[in-house]
Amino acid sequence: MRGGRLRHVALAVPDLERAIEELSRVHGLRAGPIRVNEAQGVRMAYLELGNAKLELLSATRPDSPVGRFLSRNPRGALHHVSFGVEELDAACDAVLGAGGRMAGAPARNVDGARIAFIHPEGAGGLLVELEEG
């Protein structure tokens, strides 16, 4: 992940609209449009922070990764941190070459960018997303 830059910090929340309203009211943050990624089973919105984004995620179905996460964390919690990388396959190869483990196959996010997740076992207990571009 050499040269990676922070893209976003993702929070899984049980009620997306309520989380957007609270962050807007309490912290003055403004959310972009709510979007859906059916393949990942999530509804999400980004809140711009200037140098990065806060991503709010809620599940569209209980069997999605975020749905399962929220079943273990019903009040919501930090879900993952995302870093931008120039070339996803090379970044994944570097993780594997260093003894890390990927969590599933590469996929596409709501904007169509290629993403992959580093398993928490190889990232200090934190789920890390790599986003190409």
| DSSP category for residue 64 | S
Of 22, 48, 86, 129, catalytic: 129
How far, in Å, CA of 60 to CA of 133, rounded?
A: 27
Token output for 97: 């070459």
How far, in Å, CA of 77 to CA of 74, rounded?
A: 8
Establish whether 129 is a catalytic residue.
yes
**Structural Rg of the chain based on CA atoms:** 15
Q: How far is CA 122 from the centre of its chain?
A: 17
Residue that the structure tokens 């929070």 belong to? 11
Percentages helix, strand, coil for the chain (3-state, rounded to 5) are 25, 35, 40
Catalytic residues: 129
